[in-house]
A and B are shown apart, each in its own frame.
Chain A
Amino acid sequence: MSVQTLRGGLLLMLSVALLTGAVYALNLGRIVPIEGAQMLTRGQLCAQAECSETRPVALPYFSPRDFDDGLETLHFVFDVPLEAAPEPVFALYLPKFSDNLDIWVNGAQVRQNSLPLRLWNTPLLVPVPAQLLQAGDNQVALTLYGPKAEAIDLRPLFLGPQVVLKPHYNARWFAGPGLARFAFGLMLLLSGALLLIWQSRRAERGYLWLGLSCLAAVAFLIHYAFGQSFGSYRIWTITWALSASLYVLLVLKFITSFLGQPPSLAERVHFFVLVGGVIVTLFSPPGYSFALVASINVLTVFPAVAVLGVLWRNRAALNWFDFLVLGVCMAPSVALGCYEVWMMGFNAPSRSLHLFHIMPIIMAFACLWLIVSQLVASLRGLERLTAQQSDVIAAKSRELKDSFARLAEVEKRQAISDERDRIMLDLHDGIGGHLVSTLAYIRNNDLQDETLVRALEDALRDLALMLDSMENTDSLTTLLGMLRTRLEGLLAEHGLEFDWQIHGEPDLAVKGPSQNLHVARIVQEAITNVIKHAGADTITVYADEARIEISDNGSGFDRVARASAGQIGHGLLGMKRRAQAIDAELELESDGAGTRVRLLFADVKRRAAE
């Protein structure tokens, strides 16, 4: 045991002692004079039943304890002077005595004892018939019975009108057996419920310990609530007194298992003390039973403080409010236990009202709070989880929807792609095949028709361009690259070569395969014009974001003359038309240094923006 634990333990002990002191200071249920009734505090204690020899006694009276087995019987006589014969119904009110009694008023018995009931915690209100009382002297005789080991206890009693005494009796009955019976019923219900819960959740031992602790409380509450006893004096004393000690052990087990802690040292030590105590008490003379169990209950204060210690050490595992509720409930519970131990241990306690039976009610509240709080926490967790789950489901559903949409898109694209492939195949193998066959026929048969050959070759090139533009939908420069690859051979035949200068992707106002095809046709037309007419040896193809320019180093042409001649006018018109279609501007320059065809994109865009 470390110094820290020791210090903490001592501090807790001190706190419990202070609380116990507070309970003591409250002096609940103290017996004070009642207005309108006579409080009997002085009487005679008889040496024998006939009461020939008496000695004066003052109440409260406690007989000395001894270790004898058997029943103590004491006879008391009280002289009560009355000014007048009572008119209302009178009654005798005994707030506290032990354990049972007979009562005579003026020689007539008004109560026969109800042994073996032990009414040590139960007040008594005995009606006294009016005709029994008279003006002047009256005598009230009591015979008390109680176990010698626990001694006989008689507190001041009252004689007065029943209506005056009844409320006091009721209040005391409620505070004593009333609350004890309520606690008894509550514990019985709780133990049943908790053990039932444990049956379905065997892994959660907390329910078992709490359920069993409630059963232990039921055992000692029978003693507090009903005064009933079962079995021999020794067996019953062990049962009720040590069930309180067992209760502490079970609560300790509950709290450690609830907090997920390993069994504490206090738990093990207390278990052995308890078992040892039971065995020792069983094999000792019955007269010692009470003293032995009272000693064990004194020792039980330590494990009870350990419950508080475990709670304090694990305060981090609980939320602050739960800790507060538990602390506020458990500390007074331990104080009530100490108070009871004190009352049990002293032969003549200065307090008359037992409060220990309130302890299980407070503890039940604390433990139920803990369980409900845990339940609420796990419900919250469940809600959070459910919310998370539905978020996940929503996200997954969205993903699924997206992927369905994507799949549909993919299928659509696949269908388009398949259709495109089919058209390309048809164009290539169908029209392309016919063109190639026709060209081959012309060559093989040596038909000298250059116009026809050129037209066929143009058609083939145009077809290839179309196929290229269908294949390269996203990049104009790649389309130009493909165009170059195809025209390279033709250029070589005419002694021409490219000066290729592609610096960037032209920024068309509207992008798409047909726009690209327009551009490619313009470029192809410009290049074939150079091949056919310019007499150049280099064709420069320049492209950047803003423009495409095709220039040659030929002799240039007289545009007006050529246009009027209609030779390239038709081609130029086509180029202009195509440029318009793609919102581009076509410029044509021709001079002695060559011809330049410019296709401008950025300017057109900027002007449109303005």
Chain B
Amino acid sequence: MDADRDLRGGPEETVLIIEDRADIAARLTEAVTSTDGVTVAGVATTLDQGINLLYDLRPRIVLVDIGLPDGSGIEAVKAAAKADWTVDALVVSIFGDESRVFEALQAGAKGYILKSGALRQIGDDILAVLEGGSPISPAIARHLLAVLNTGMEPKPEAVECHLTDRETEILRAVARGYKRHEIGAQLGISAGTVGNHITSIYRKLEVGTNMEAVMRATKIGVL
């Protein structure tokens, strides 16, 4: 891929898209293509094909739809998490209900993007992930707060991890629609640090949460 070089002079990072709906796939492709520094390596329309392409193409980023005709996109996220090269999975879904979000984050997804959000933002999200951040939408932040926030009573025993005050603050700001740099300015820290906090929240969730219990609690209405 020597021909493809971004403006900064480095090689372009590759993106694999696993999405069964052609129009969405087209919009995702368009969004990725129009972003400097990244390029679409391939598009898969089934889980099976997606996982095969994942190993064949060894992309840096994989965009996964959750609802695939032959299975859950979570499987692809797990495959990416186990890969022997650096690959970050981002889940793209029309729905942002808690249980799915947590399932994805627990499987190791670096971010969760709602299709009803602006898909053209996806390029920015991918760049954020490449820089070590974790993209997060206000709705997802709100879900995270609902589950992890210490202010909620009764606190589900399933959630063992606790957010620091700073993390809670950041999530609350994200849920209200603030951007990283704005949050950073409010708190007197850099946008990158804000991103690190969000990544840290994701990782906490990954290790400290009993997924089934969260789903149960979510359905029962405790959360």
Contacts and interface: CB of A to CB of B under 8 A. Distances in A.
Contact of A482 (B95, B120, B137): B137
Question: Most chain-B Cβ atoms within 10 A of its Cβ — which of A421, A471, A478?
Answer: A478
Given A406-B221, A413-B219, A482-B137, 20 more contacts: A410-B220, A417-B97, A428-B94, A429-B94, A433-B23, A464-B117, A467-B116, A471-B97, A482-B114, A484-B138, A485-B117, A485-B137, A485-B138, A485-B177, A486-B117, A488-B121, A489-B120, A489-B121, A500-B179, A500-B182
- Classify chain B's interface size: 20 to 34
B219 A414 contact: yes
Contacts of B179: 500
Contacts of B220: 406, 410
30 contacts: A410-B221, A413-B219, A413-B221, A428-B116, A433-B21, A467-B94, A468-B116, A471-B96, A471-B97, A472-B139, A472-B142, A475-B175, A478-B138, A478-B141, A478-B142, A478-B175, A478-B176, A480-B176, A480-B177, A481-B138, A481-B177, A482-B139, A482-B177, A485-B117, A485-B121, A485-B177, A487-B118, A489-B120, A500-B179, A502-B178
Interface in A473-523: 475, 477-478, 480-489, 500, 502
Contacts of A471: 95-97, 114, 116, 139
B166 interface: no
A437 B23 CA distance: 7
Interface in B133-190: 137-139, 141-142, 174-179, 182
A500 B177 CA distance: 8
Interface in B91-112: 94-97
B115 interface: yes
Given A482-B177, A485-B138, A500-B178, A410 B120 contact: no
Interface string A419-440: 0010011001100010011001
A107 B95 CA distance: 131
A488 B219 contact: no
Contacts of A428: 94, 115-116
A424 B95 contact: yes
A409 interface: yes
Contact of A475 (B96, B118, B142, B221): B142
Question: Most chain-B Cβ atoms within 10 A of its Cβ — which of A436, A480, A482?
Answer: A482
- Classify chain A's interface size: 35 or more
B27 interface: yes
B39 to A, nearest CB: 20
A515 B114 CA distance: 22
Interface string B201-223: 00000000000000000011100
Contacts of B21: 429, 433
A69 B28 CA distance: 128
Nearest to A492: B120
Going nearest first, the 9 A-B pairs with the smallest beta carbon separation are A481-B177, A481-B138, A502-B176, A467-B116, A484-B177, A478-B142, A486-B118, A477-B176, A489-B120
Interface of A: 406, 409-410, 413-414, 417, 421, 424-425, 428-429, 433, 436-437, 440, 464, 467-468, 471-472, 475, 477-478, 480-489, 500, 502
Nearest to A541: B177
A429 B177 CA distance: 26
A409 B222 CA distance: 12
Nearest to B96: A471
B142 A485 contact: no
A512 to B, nearest CB: 17
Nearest to A414: B219
A440 B23 CA distance: 10
Question: Most chain-B Cβ atoms within 10 A of its Cβ — which of A409, A421, A481?
Answer: A481
A413 B182 CA distance: 37
A424 B94 contact: yes
A68 to B, nearest CB: 93
A15 to B, nearest CB: 64
Contacts of B177: 477-478, 480-485, 500, 502
A428 B117 CA distance: 11
B103 to A, nearest CB: 15
Contacts of B178: 481, 500, 502
A467 B94 CA distance: 9
A414 B99 CA distance: 12
A324 B137 CA distance: 80
Interface in B1-58: 21, 23, 26-27
A594 to B, nearest CB: 21
Given A482-B138, A484-B177, A500-B177, A425 B94 contact: yes
Given A481-B176, A502-B177, A502-B178, A489 B118 contact: yes
Contacts of A410: 219-221
Contacts of B96: 471
A414 B115 CA distance: 22
Question: Most chain-A Cβ atoms within 10 A of its Cβ — which of B114, B176, B220?
Answer: B176
A429 B178 CA distance: 29
Nearest to A461: B118
Nearest to B179: A500
Nearest to B95: A421
A428 B96 CA distance: 14
Nearest to B219: A410
A475 B140 CA distance: 12
